[in-house]
Chain A
Amino acid sequence: MPKLFPVQEIGSLAKPKWRTKGLRQQLSTQDLSEAEEWAAKLGIQDFHNRAKSILKTGDDKERVKAILELSTLYGLRLFETTGVDNDGVGGEQQRVEMYEHVIKAVQGMNLLGHVHSFDNKYFNKGVAESKISRKHPIYVPEFLDVKKYAHRAVKVPITGPYTLVDWSFSGYYIQKQDASSPKTRKIEAKREFLLDIVEEIIRPEIRDLVDAGASWIQIDEPAVTTHPEPQEMELFVEAWNETVKGFNCKFSDHTCYPSETGYKVLAEYAPKLDKCDQLALEFANRDTSRLGLDEDSREGYSDLKHFVDAGFSGEFGLGVAHVHDFTGNVSSGAGKSVGRDLIESPELVRDRLLFATKIIGDPAKIWANPDCGLRTRTWDVAFAKLANITKGAELAREAYQ
């Protein structure tokens, strides 16, 4: 019988200071002191040799390559040390972030500048200025480093085509449309842009990853739940099915923070996604921080029933830990609030997993994971959260068996 409630990460970890600084300039011994502390914690045996070579080299390219490789190794070992069953790609240390990292590798696209998201937060938005093509492999160099060091199965997260298009201006694609209605032009442009992203960027990337040995690809599509209209959902399904067509590998979808209608619309369309073996979704963010298996305590997981009702038969990656600032109250035994963080207790993780099992029915279909990538948390907090998810999964296994 396979291990019940295996634990996975979702993608990113914060970038250590030495990694960020080291990409821009030469590092000092002092800069690497934090890395030295973590080396002991994570069992990085050859840290001193690696540090010496990073400090010694005068070649910028060589230094950057060594730092990216080392930070990837750290991410992998953090996952491994906390007991995560899947290594991921070491916390996406080799990526700027999920959108820009891809757009910078797309011929025909240009980052236009920042637009306001909220408060003093912004995002750099790209535009398609001509028909697009791939300049160079996007994720493969990272995967090759990961392969060298990972001890367990690797899941490669990639940004999905629907999200890339939704977060970009259509530019060239909208100008070439000739429908008289602006609304029709926009929809037709989006479809053409989307299918080009699939064919020219994402499929070649998946082909390269599979050829290099990737056996599980997680497609991140946070934008999909922001457009619950049938026309948009059909577009998403069409793009997904084109993306995975003909590849012999495991695919999963990661979606998070839907609009206020929740996951209901995604649930309706999920059974139409070809080869979608798993949906990894954010739930802890909308749940209470109380222990218990009753519906009120576990209100955040109620949307799971929509997927079951709609007939989705794959696995679920269950978000059991919050990844953003936490300001609420924590009930006794449910965890501890430390500054802006909530460290969920293993018991709270257990209750979330057991409650989800009641809805889904088959515990073999449930993975435990944080709501999303942990890039907004410090490594100390990420470590504590993942370690408690692992312990919580163990408690759930004991309770179930």
Chain B
Amino acid sequence: MSLEIQLAGIHPRSERLIELTRSYERAKASWSQVEVQLEQETREVIKLQESLGFKHFSDGSLGWQDQLRPVTRSLKGVESGTRYSRWFDTNTFYQKPIIVGKVSAGDIDPKNFLRAELLTGKRGRKVTLPGPYTFSQLSENKHYKNHADLLIDIAIAEREIIRRLKNEGVTLFQLSEPCLVYQPYRESFRDQSEVDLALGAIRSLVKDSPGDFVVQTYFGDAAPVFPDLLDLPVFGVGIDLFETDIFSLNEQEKTSKAFVLGVVDSRESFVENPNWIADTARKFSEKVDARELVLASNSDLKFVPQGIANQKLEALSKASELFDGGQ
């Protein structure tokens, strides 16, 4: 069984870039100054991944203003107003997509998703996108009478984004689906029929799409939907191990799946001990028969300052060495 480390979403900006973007807001710096710094930091994030032995490289999504924005801006039938909503139970916000017409692929600019020109020479490229269910859940629907229709149209539209990103050399797509496991914004939690619809949309998205897919869950307990996730025709499944108890997962026969273990907490500054990370990964591999394991943060590392995020990646790297040594 192989083991690797990956980024699992948006990496934090440095204090320097933060100050520059603030100066830009106050009209005291130009956008081109921000872009120069953004490019330099993207190179640094890629370099860090190189030095830590990553096989799939992300550009860190440092320019993303929230987790949904690039997708929102690439779809027809979707507007982004000025309304900001809370990102789950964090103290961060996203611009709420408003569904005003039939959703389809619009003007897709791959540069809004990935700085491919900075990943030259990297064959394994990873991009993180909101899955269709989570995107639909976090949008305000003013058009569709039937939620299933909305879901499928988002999935089909995202397929086009994926096709375009594949042309940019992306080989691995993370579809983030926190809403499958956590819905604090709703009065009642989704039921099985809704899970089936969500999974149907994911199936529709990945069908005949190029590349490998990982469906990543976070902020909630994946155990109740774990068997469903394993049935998906995707390369891998991601689990937040700060919300999911390994021992609550059903034991499986050989799964042929890769598992992305969210084993450093992107919402705490405390840097996890590599021994604990490796032990946790071992416990998981004893419980679930995985084809491949990936160590990652449980969600975007943007919830901690950059210095802490980088230390957490280093802890993952050390843990992967310990894991290999202990096999």
Contacts and interface: CB of A to CB of B under 8 A. Distances in A.
Interface string B1-37: 0000000001011010010011011000000000000
A132 to B, nearest CB: 15
Contact of A174 (B95, B243, B270): B270
Nearest to A181: B245
Contacts of B90: 226
B92 A182 contact: no
B243 A115 contact: no
Contact of A115 (B94, B268, B303): B303
A223 B86 contact: no
B46 interface: no
B210 interface: no
A261 to B, nearest CB: 6
Interface string A159-184: 00000001101110011000001110
A113 B65 contact: no
Contacts of A175: 270
Interface string B253-289: 0000000000001001110000000000000000000
A231 to B, nearest CB: 12
A116 B82 CA distance: 18
A359 B76 CA distance: 42
B141 interface: no
A115 B270 contact: no
Main secondary structure, interface of B, reads loop
A169 B265 CA distance: 11
Given A118-B65, A122-B22, A325-B82, A113 B241 contact: no
B185 A260 contact: yes
Interface string A115-127: 1111110110101
Nearest to A223: B91
B269 A226 contact: no
Interface in B48-101: 65-66, 81-82, 84-86, 89-95
A389 B82 CA distance: 25
B304 interface: yes
B245 A115 contact: no
A227 B13 contact: no
Contacts of B303: 115
B91 A112 contact: no
A357 to B, nearest CB: 27
A183 B268 contact: no
A224 B66 CA distance: 23
A207 interface: no
A336 interface: no
A125 B305 contact: yes
Q: Which of B94, B269, B307 has the most CB of A within 10 A?
A: B269
B308 interface: yes
Main secondary structure, interface of A, reads mixed
Contact of B91 (A117, A171, A174, A261): A117
A119 B63 CA distance: 9
A229 interface: yes
B86 A226 contact: yes
Contact of B22 (A120, A183, A257): A120
Interface in A66-120: 112-120
Interface size class of A (residues with CB under 8 A): 35 or more
A117 B93 contact: yes
B200 to A, nearest CB: 24
Given A119-B65, A259-B184, A261-B184, A226 B89 contact: yes
A75 B18 CA distance: 31
Interface string B189-229: 00000000000000000000000000000000000000000
B92 A117 contact: yes
B269 A171 contact: yes
Nearest to B26: A120
Contacts of A183: 242-243, 245
Interface string A214-253: 0000000001001111000000000000000000000000
Given A169-B270, A228-B184, A120 B308 contact: no
A117 B85 CA distance: 11
Given A227-B184, A259-B86, A261-B185, A118 B91 contact: no
Contacts of A112: 269, 304-305, 308
Given A170-B270, A226-B86, A123 B91 contact: yes
A182 B21 contact: no
B125 interface: no
Nearest to B25: A120
A267 B86 CA distance: 20
B159 interface: no
Interface string B97-117: 000000000000000000000
B188 to A, nearest CB: 10
A117 B91 CA distance: 7
A123 B305 CA distance: 10
A331 interface: no
Contacts of A186: 242, 265, 268
Interface of A: 112-120, 122-123, 125, 127, 166-167, 169-171, 174-175, 181-183, 186, 223, 226-229, 257, 259-261, 264, 325, 327
18 contacts: A112-B304, A113-B15, A113-B305, A113-B306, A115-B304, A116-B13, A116-B18, A116-B92, A118-B84, A122-B22, A127-B269, A169-B270, A174-B268, A183-B243, A223-B91, A226-B91, A260-B186, A261-B185
Given A117-B91, A227-B184, 12 more contacts: A114-B305, A115-B305, A125-B305, A127-B269, A167-B91, A171-B270, A186-B265, A226-B91, A259-B85, A259-B86, A260-B85, A261-B186
